Amino acid sequence: MTVPEKKIYPRTGDRQTVYLNQVVHTPNIVVGDYTIYNDFVQDPTQFERNNVLYHYPVNGDRLVIGKFCSIACGAKFLLNSANHTLISASTYPFPIFYEAWGLERSRVTDAWDNRGDIVIGNDVWIGYEAVVLAGVTIGDGAIIGARAVVTRDVLPYTIVGGVPAKPIRKRFDERSIDKLLALRWWDWPQEKILQHLPAIQRGRLDQLCP
């Protein structure tokens, strides 16, 4: 076996799947190695423009995605500027139109509530057309069901689905989850991952966690 190359397209002849960290360039989007995005509707290299929405530099908020994640077609990440403020008596974004209303340009971010970054762990699978909202943290090994709307944090190795997304079940028992979180196989050198790939694919935790 050979170590996989770092390139845009993981598979020869497949232009629908990309290694995501090879096509994102915005400093506030951080993606780990081998995380893939598949899009059979639009150009997957345009992930920043088509899938990371309301991500304005004025906020300084970030989208952080770990290693070995799988992101399905149409998944969307809605950052903080999508959140019209709930503090005001009106949800109308007056501060955005500061010129029309004689407001201070420096207060434009008062138009929305800042809920924080979106942080996605390692080995997370995000299903078709799922939506992840600002301020959400998704733990390692979690699965987000197709068209789920994730409004709250998701625990590691938990499967969630629905609108809003709710836990369906754990992928493993708690003891196994603790072992996997301690193992952090995604941080191993590539050669070690290759060596243990059969055990990883078969879920042989007895071989992975001595």
Alpha carbon distance 119, 130 (integer Å): 15
The SS3 of residue 31 is strand
Indicate the pairing of strand 52-53 with strand 76-78: parallel
Greatest distance between any 2 Cα atoms in the chain: 66
What are the two backbone dihedrals, phi and then psi, of residue 125, each rounded to the nearest 5 degrees? -110, 120
Give the single-character DSSP code of 65: E
- Which amino acid appears at position 87 of this protein? I
Q: Is the peptide bond before 198 cis (omega within 30 degrees of 0)?
A: no
Q: 116 in the Ramachandran plot: left (φ > 0), alpha (ψ -120 to 50) or beta? A: left
List, as one string, the DSSP characters of 82-98. G-B-SSSS--S-GGGGH
Terminal C-alpha separation, the chain: 24
Residue ranges of the alpha helices (H) in 88-127? 98-101
Look up 196 and say whether it is catalytic.
Answer: no
Residues 166 and 144: beta-carbon distance below 8 Å: no
Q: Which residues are catalytic?
A: 84
